[in-house]
Each structure stands twice: as structure tokens, then as C-alpha cells.
A and B are shown apart, each in its own frame.
Chain A
Amino acid sequence: MKLTLSKSRTKVNTKAKKQSIWSEYKKHKLLLLMLLPGLIWYLIFYYGPLYGIQIAFKNYRIADGITGSEWVGLDHFIRMFSTDGFTEILGNTLIISFYHILFGFTAPIILALLLNEIRSNVFKRVSQSISYLPHFFSWVILGGILDVLLSPTNGVVNHLIQLIGLDPIYFLGDPKYFRFTLVTSAIWKEIGWGTIIYLAALSSVDSHLYEAAIVDGANRWKQTLHITIPSIMPVIAILFILRIGNILDAGFDQVLNLYNPAVYSVGDIIDTYVYRVGINGMQYSYTTAVGLFKNVVGFTMILIANYAIKKSGQEGLF
């Protein structure tokens, strides 16, 4: 008797729960309808490819489609790690990305601190506007420009280099200089734009802190060290997490527009490799495996970096 009673009670409860969920849906059905197109778009264009990732474990043939292609397990991954070519690619990616982080991540912070010290508002605003300029152009445009400026025959940079007595440098064709060119031109492009978020953080620092520090006799440098930098640490931390998550992103757009076969040995990165071998070479399954490897590493890195930063006391991303 008792058992049946409780059964019917849970039946009533779940029925009531179901009804309330449906009534919630009905109540906000227009809202959900508004969400629907975007949601469907994400499902098709982001989760669709996620479904297609499985071909990394198959031998994808167009005729067989994704489901019809046969499973080959970890074959592609084994091939990946036993090819010398891939080790070189991975090395290039890590080294270039490391330089990008070491110099490219820190440069906007330093520039932001410097811009913050400018007394004249007009000068500050004008120089900021100018510094954002290269950010708004594609690497096709900038690549074309760099090709001209860095030309070993009639480029202006080499002209100046030769004026001081040195030999012309093949910035884009010499493996010794290619990575330097990549990192420096990337900084040139993004340093201005990168300062925006730091300047926003700097503008919200309580001026009373500075006043108190001046009373205590701290000069501008000490103020920077003990007030300014700690106050933008949370922003730096979050952006650093995101950057580390992209550690295997060495700048596909830039490299594809600046590289050439002469510098593949130092400049070919995972993404350009996937593009060449995957799209042009049509080795779909293999390069999907390479791409999957990259994404998994990236995702793991974000989780690790987020954890590490939270452990150190800062607020993480999640």
C-alpha cells in the first residue's frame, strides 16, 4: 500500500515538473525562437565539423563519405609522430609561437605603460590613433608592403643597411632571418591595438593610490612598480591564459602570406602544413589528425594555464 502511494506521488511530481518545463518554454517561446537561428547556425558550422573530426581516425574517401569510410584507429597519429617532417613543423610552430608570446605579448603592455606616462592628451590620442593603423589591414596587404620594403634589391630597409656598409639581408628569403621578420612585423601590426585593453584597465586605477604614494615619497618608477603594474595584473593574467591556449597558433594568416619554399624549414607551421598537405594535397584524414592534435593541445593548455593562474591568486577565466 505504502509503495503504491509513494509511486503515484513521484508520478505526480515528475508530471508536474514536466508540465512546468513546458510551460516555461511556452511562456518564453518567442525568446527561444529568437535564439533558434543562431543556435542552428552554431550546430551546423561549429558542431558539424566537430562531428567530421572523426575522419582523423578513419581513411576518409569522398565517395564513402564520413560514415562510410573505414576506421584506421591511431594510424594517422602514428604516422604524424614518426615523420621527420612533422617534428620540424611542430618545432617551428612552438619556437615561433614562443617568440610571439615572449615579445609580442609583452610589447603592448610596455607601450601601454609608456603611453600612460604621456602628459599631453592631444599627443597621446594622436599617437594612439596612428599606432592602431596597421591592425586594420590584412596580411595580404601588409605582406605585399613588406615584400616591397624588405626587398634585397631595391627595398628601403636594405638601402639603409647598405648605406652603413653592411650586406643586404634577405628578410623573407633567408632562414636565418625569417623568424625575426615574422615576429617583428607581427609586433608592428598589433602593438598599438594591443594597448587598448591595458589602457582601459589603467584608466580605472584609483588616483588616490597614486596620491598616497606621492605623499610617501615614491617617484614615478616606484609608483609604476607598486601600483600601476599590480593593478593591471588581472587583465594580463586573463589575456595570458587565452594566449597560452593558442600556443600552437603561430600566425597562419601572416605566415601563409610571407613564407616561401626557401624558408619552409624554419617557417612552416602546423596550420600552413595542414593547408598545403590537406587542401592542396588532399590528404584529408591525415591533416585532420594533425589539426585535432593541435586543438587538443591548445584546449589542454588553456585548462592548465587557467588552473595555474587561479592557484597563484589571480582570477582565472573559469
Chain B
Amino acid sequence: MTVGEKVFQVFLIVFIVFLCVMMLYPFIHMLAVSFSTPTEAIRPGLHLFPLEFSLDAYKNAFSSNQIWVGFGNTIFRTVVGTILALVFMSLTAYPLSKKYLPHRTFFTLLIVFTMFFQGGLIPTYLLIKEVGLMDSRLVYVLAPPFFISTFSLLILRNFFMQIPAELEESAKMDGASDIKILFSIILPLSKPILATVGLWMAVNQWNSWFDGLLYIQDTDKMVLQTYLRRLVIENNTQEMQAMMDQTGGQDVVPESIKAATIMLATIPILVVYPFLQKYFTKGIFIGSVKG
């Protein structure tokens, strides 16, 4: 390496380390504040760990009924929504991957067109009303962008297209129907891509807050993120007061409560993140090869 290249390498490493710190620090900060006493929580400056430790913010958060309701609804939509999506995306992608499907191009264009032109927020809102999904938990798993993601659908379709035709042909000779082929041969071979697509869907479900804001009035059906938004973004004083009243309101401040509730929504993702790393990113590799 030349001197120039050595210098570059040094700068490169310094820059990348700085970048990583920028990515991680906000979460470390919030974690520290969530475990802080009131005086420590409002202290200006760096928070790498709580200088004064307290579990009170979490005690408050855990005794709030609304948090558990939120968790319940979010877990429901994540699990049910992802399973539903994987089933129906597979069922839809498989026929589209077969060249001999009648009107294949037409169907594909019909679906892909929706990626480039949509009705818009208001017409969709009115349609959801029309279909009777207003204030129903089903809207979490049936309404776009969930149930079927066109992008994931195309990735699945392309993957199915790459599976050798001989496998299917020999199964057909043994008398297997298309559905049997899909479930006994194609899907087992597609585990990696299904994992990736499923994970994308699950993360989106977990993070979804706007449909709750738009379509749901019943607080029993609210998801965690929508409740979080009311607490943290809309600065809903009623909700905050109700939260703080759980333990007499003495040992917490809004800052530590906000941090604790944010961490409650964040920690599940942080926990599964290292284990599912490869699934998150593999899909793009597969998709980009023949995207």
C-alpha cells in the first residue's frame, strides 16, 4: 500500500467507527434515560448509563393497562398478519411464476401497475369504510400495505421461477396437483426467501401506527405504536397523566416515561435483530440478481 492508501484506510476506519457510534448512541441514550430517576432523566448532556438508577419508569409502564392492550394487538397483527401474508403471497406468486398460466402477462401487469399508480389516501379511506373494516382489528392484516406486498410478491415469483422445472414435472407425472406441488415441493425449497419476506412483513406490522390512527377508534383495539405516538409525539397530556398516576406520580417524569415506553417498543426488535440479520439482507441479494 502506498502512503496515500494507508492514510485513506485510517480515515476510513475512523469515519466508519464514528458512523456506528451515531447509529448506536441514540438507543443507548434512551436506554439510560429509561432507567433514570427524575432528576437524572432531565439532566442535559450525554447519557451513556444512568448516573442515578431507577426502575420506576418501567414500573409505571408495566402497570399501565393501555401498554398491555397495545402489546396484545401488536403481537396479534404481527403474527396473524405475517402468516396470512406468507400464505396468500405464495398462493398468488406461484401461478404467476408459471409461463403457461393463461393471460399471465395481463395478471402480472394488473398487479404491478398498482405499484406505480394508486387511488390515494382519501379514496382508500373511503373504501375501507365501505368494506366495513372501520374500527376492526382485521384492517391491520387485510388492508394495504399488508396482506400482499407487491414488491415481496415479485421477489417470491422470481424465486419460484428459478426452481428447476424437472421437479415439478416429475411430481406432475406422479399425479400431484398444483397446490400439492406448491406446498410439498416449492415452499420447502423456498424457506430462505420466505423467511426474508416474512421478516420484512413482520417488521412492517410491528412498526405500523398510521392505520391505527386512521381507522380505529376503540382504544381496546389500538396497537402499541399508535399508543406510543399519542404519548410521545402528540404529547397527549391525559394519557401521560394517567400513566404517571399509576404510582402516585411522584417518582417519574414524562421524560423517563417516554423513554421507557419507547424502549418497550424497541427492545423486542433489538433482541431478535442479531439472530435474524442474515434473513433481513439476503432477500435483496436474491431479488436484485433478477429483479
Q: State the CA gap A28–B95 with chains docked (Å).
A: 9
Does B122 lie within 8 Å of A140, measured CB to CB?
no
Interface pair B107/A39, CB less than 8 Å apart:
yes
A142 to chain B, nearest CB (A): 8
A289 to B124, CA, bound (A): 13
The CA of A158 and the CA of B118, in the complex, are separated in Å by: 42
Task: Say yes or no: is B258 at the interface (Cβ < 8 Å to chain A).
Answer: yes
A42 to chain B, nearest CB (A): 6
CB distance from A251 to the nearest CB of B (A): 13
**Residues on the A chain within 8 Å of B91, using CB:** 34-35, 37-38
Chain A neighbourhood of B2, CB < 8 A: 219
Interface residues on B, range: 35 or more
Q: Which residues of A contact B88 (CB under 8 A)?
A: 37-38, 41
Binary A-proximity of B45-60 (CB < 8 A = 1, otherwise 0): 1110000000000000
Assess whether B30 is in contact with A34, with CB atoms less than 8 Å apart: no
Residues of B near A140 (CB, < 8 A) are 207, 209, 225, 228-229, 232-233, 265
Q: Which residue of A lies closest to B228 (CB)?
A: A140
Chain A proximity of B23: nearest CB distance (Å): 5
Binary contact track A98-141/B, C-beta < 8 Å → 1, others 0: 00000000000001001101110001001101111110111011
Query: Which residue of chain B has its CB nearest to the CB of A42?
Result: B111
Give complex CA distance A37, B44 in Å: 55
Within 8 A of A (CB), among B252-289: 255, 258-259, 262, 265-266, 269, 273-274, 277, 280-281, 284-285, 288-289
With contact pairs A38-B92, A141-B228 given, residues A133 and B23 touching in the complex (Cβ less than 8 Å):
yes
Q: Which of B12, B127, B207, B285 contacts A200 (CB 8 A)?
A: B285
- Answer yes or no: A307 CB below 8 A from chain B CBs: no
Kindly state whether residue A153 has any CB partner on chain B within 8 Å: yes
Interface residues of A in 17-61 (CB under 8 A from B): 21, 24-25, 28, 30-32, 34-35, 37-39, 41-42, 44-53, 55
A268 touches B (CB below 8 Å)? no
CA A138 – CA B228 in complex, angstroms?
11
Q: Which residues of A contact B17 (CB under 8 A)?
A: 127
Partner of B102, one of A21, A41, A192: A21
Q: Is A201 part of the contact surface with B, judged by Cβ < 8 Å?
A: yes
Question: Which of A34, A111, A115, A144 interacts with B94 by CB under 8 Å?
Answer: A34
Minimal beta-carbon separation of B24 from chain A (angstroms): 6
List chain A residues, Cβ under 8 A from B9. Answer: 117, 119
Residues in chain A near residue B289, CB distance under 8 A: 200
**Chain B residue at minimum C-beta to C-beta distance from A146:** B26
Closest-CB distance, B144 to chain A (whole angstroms): 5
Partner of B47, one of A144, A156, A220, A253: A156
Q: List 13 A-B contacts (CB under 8 A).
A: A34-B92, A49-B123, A50-B117, A123-B16, A129-B274, A132-B280, A133-B27, A140-B228, A149-B26, A154-B43, A219-B2, A220-B8, A288-B123
Q: A31-B178, A66-B126 known; 9 other A-B pairs, CB under 8 Å?
A: A30-B178, A37-B92, A38-B91, A52-B126, A117-B8, A131-B20, A153-B44, A196-B281, A274-B122
Query: Lowest 10 A-B CB distances belong to which pairs?
Result: A49-B119, A38-B92, A291-B120, A52-B123, A49-B123, A138-B207, A144-B232, A154-B44, A46-B114, A35-B95
User: Using a CB–CB distance below 8 Å, which chain A residues touch chain B?
Assistant: 21, 24-25, 28, 30-32, 34-35, 37-39, 41-42, 44-53, 55, 66, 111, 114-115, 117-119, 123, 126-127, 129-134, 136-138, 140-141, 143-149, 153-156, 158-159, 188, 192, 196-197, 200-201, 219-220, 235, 245, 253, 256-257, 271, 274-275, 278-279, 284, 287-288, 291-292, 294-295, 298-299, 302
